[in-house]
Structure 1
Amino acid sequence: MELKNQTIVSEFFLVGLTDDPGVQPLIFSLFLVIYLVTILGNLLIILAVSSDSHLHTPMYFFLSSLSFTDICISTTTIPKMLDNLHAQDQSITYTACLSQVSFVLIFGGLENCLLAVMAYDRYVAICHPLRYTVIMNPRLCVLLVLLSLLVTTVNALPHSLMALRLSFCSNLEIPHFFCELAEVIKLPCSDTRINYLLMYLGTSLFAGVPFSGIIFSYTQIVSSILRIPSVGGRYKAFSTCGSHLSVVSLFYGTGLGVYMSSAVSDSSVKNSVSSMMYIVIPQMLNPFIYSLRNKEMKETLRHLIANTPSLL
């Protein structure tokens, strides 16, 4: 079948969290703060890792990659929402909407893969400490990040191409503050069975495999930690995983909440709030989780912030 754009519309309408004009300024302010905190927090993580030679390790390399991904996810969704709220205009062009769908799939999938890569890094560090520097060499670390990006791009490409062949008629309202694939493919008046099949297959494969990798890694980690004779040794080993476990719990916990809420509720507002918890909140909290639970990161950030006035 030839893939071509059959749409008869030029724009969609993002319903957002509310259509109450009195509440929209509050939502605008809230999301503006969230976006600025997300950008600033993740930029500080990247700057801290790049400026301190003590942090030039695989764990912090993956952390800076995760921070960059968080910046990309937030920039894909929030600025358009802020623009719509400021202009009192809910429209988004057809091209911008499909682009947003693609970038959310790419960067959301990349975050998923990076969390699995970070779990593997912790597995090697705890279960094979003597071989850690040999296994997790710089070449492998870069290769794992690039491979994760390639995999998520390959996953997003079929969804984008199949969306181009859909015909949209009268229903153009998307009950979210961004173009989410699951909501966009509910709108067409053409056959969407292939789109749904791709979505379920992609979700099962490209989300299930990394999550299974995380479960396997931590099963091996817990098994190794329990074999450590001293309580202090167990605590020290497990503490290196604390931040990552918190981020994994936040990412998958909010993601599971989205699908559970969608399954039990047809409310567009509730689904939008659930999506916000999945695509906005974890990206804002990740820098705080890693900086507050990590002594090295706290010291580097403190030094970086203290030296900022002199640099300016």
Structure 2
Amino acid sequence: MAFTRVLHVVALFLMQGDFPGAGGETVTLKEGEDLNLRCTLSGDGSSARQWLNPRGFGIFLNTQRALRDQRYKLTHYSKEELSIRLSNVTVHDEGVYRCFSYGIPFKSKNETVEVLAAPSNPVLDVSRHTERSITLSCYTHGCKPQPQVTWLLDNGIELPGDTTHELEADGKKWTTTSRLTVLAYGPGSTASCIVHHQALKEELMASFHFEDIPRTEQNVQPEGMETKENNLLLPILVAALIFALLIIVLLFMRKLKKAHGVWKRENDVSDQTVESYKSKSNEDSTGHEKNGHVVNQKSNMQYVTDGYAETMQKNPTDTNLAISEKLFGCGRETNV
């Protein structure tokens, strides 16, 4: 393991620049193909050989695997050769691969790998400006390097179009858009988007037939009309909101007024009930006093009457005389 580490350090040091014996070649592949790396550096039988990937990590040291990537396979190892294979390459596998022979003299070999990515099938999009003027848009993505897009009309004329390229998130592939505006077209006319790329055996094509567009007139708004409508939209929304709040406040005030009226009526009824109760209490007290006085009078009268009746019964003659005296103002004669 210590020897392997020493070889890695030496390899990294040697990668910093050119050194005697270094040679190189370029290999171009397409995504999905296999990369074969063959190192036939001569040396003594005890020399160690090693392949390094573009990021400087060892792939194989003699027959010992250094990377966990199972796409790498050892295809041949001998005193004169160390060959490996990388299957199903992607654009992230491209770069400079290096083979080192740690002998005397030290030797190395560089192999530059370029990976191409074919574009996707083009997709057409149509947008109409007027009844007789439309714009065609052609989209393709996932290609490396950038593709070339042209437009072929049914009269045989090929036009470049307005093409833009945008780098995708992986930093390797491109998305390409090309637009063509057609001001006039006849019945049965066609326009085709053609994608050219070196990873393709033949061009990709997408065609559009103009009779597929329904011929309906469209009202084209003048410039500034849309802006004016947008400027009026905010005040209208604010006014609607204020109106809604005003209605809510009025309903609340109406409900509050109604509740106040109910509360006032209940208080008036309570006051009348208390006054009626007090008045009735006073009348009852007065009646009881009057009734007591009458009873006393009746009792006195009865007492007088009873007393008078009793006197009359005891001495009727005296009673009669007394009455006569009262009536005629004279008294009994007295014999002297």
TM-score normalised over the length of structure 2 = 0.15
Instruction: Tell me which protein shows more helix as a share of its residues.
Output: 1
TM-score normalised over the length of structure 1 = 0.16
Larger-gyration structure (1/2): 2
